[in-house]
Every structure is written in C-alpha cells, then in structure tokens.
Structure 1
C-alpha cells in the first residue's frame, strides 16, 4: 500500500495517528532497534494496558493495497 497511515481506535490509545514514522516519535522508534526500513512507513510506540485494540490502516488519497500490522512487546 503506498504511503500508509495507521490509527489506533481504542482507549487509552485513541487519537494516535502516524503516516511517516520519522515525523513523530523518531527517537523512541529508533531506540527499539527495529525501525521501519522505509521512512514513509507508519510506526507507533505506545504502552498499552491489556485489552482489545483496533488498528485502522489507510492509504494516502484512499489508495488501496495490502498492509501488515505488527505488534511487539518491548522491554
């Protein structure tokens, strides 16, 4: 999917939106040692309480395609 953005929709992460990982949280994402290889990819670092969450992926200008959401437990 070209130029994807990711948004979390469930509390306490409501309102988190990212479309280019270097535009926000760059230092935190690099510190994970697993930053995206493409600067235009989306990435979010957030501590979440146990529960159910939804990630919504959209392409820029409503572009369609395939997307992969990965969730990591970071220590």
Structure 2
C-alpha cells in the first residue's frame, strides 16, 4: 500500500495515493485532511500533510509505522 498525501492543488486541496491517478480534490484543507485520515486508516498506511509550500508539516501513522519506537 502507498502512503496518503494531502497537499495544495490548483483548485483546492488534494488527497493523493500514489500520484495523480488516484487523486481527489477538496474545497478546504480541513475537508482534505478528513478524507485523507479516513483513507489512511482504511489502508493502514501513513498520512502525510503538506503545507502550501509543499513541505511535510505533519504525519500520522495508521498501522504500518516505519519507525521502530515503542510508546
């Protein structure tokens, strides 16, 4: 499974999984994050939230956590 990315798009905010082929557009960042959370939880992958500058500002893991940290 591929990670879920939320980031700015031409006409709103996008939720992408593996590129533009699997992409949905949302009017607000809040709506995109909610949709991304649902998808990441369902797929048990990481959610990466990008700011307007494209840099990752937050990440959440829902199943497969690549870090080996307990707690």
TM-score above 0.5: no
Bigger relative contact order, structure 1 or 2 (CA pairs below 8 A, ≥6 apart): 1
Q: TM-score, normalised by structure 1?
A: 0.29
Q: TM-score, normalised by structure 2?
A: 0.29
Which is strand-richer, 1 or 2? 2
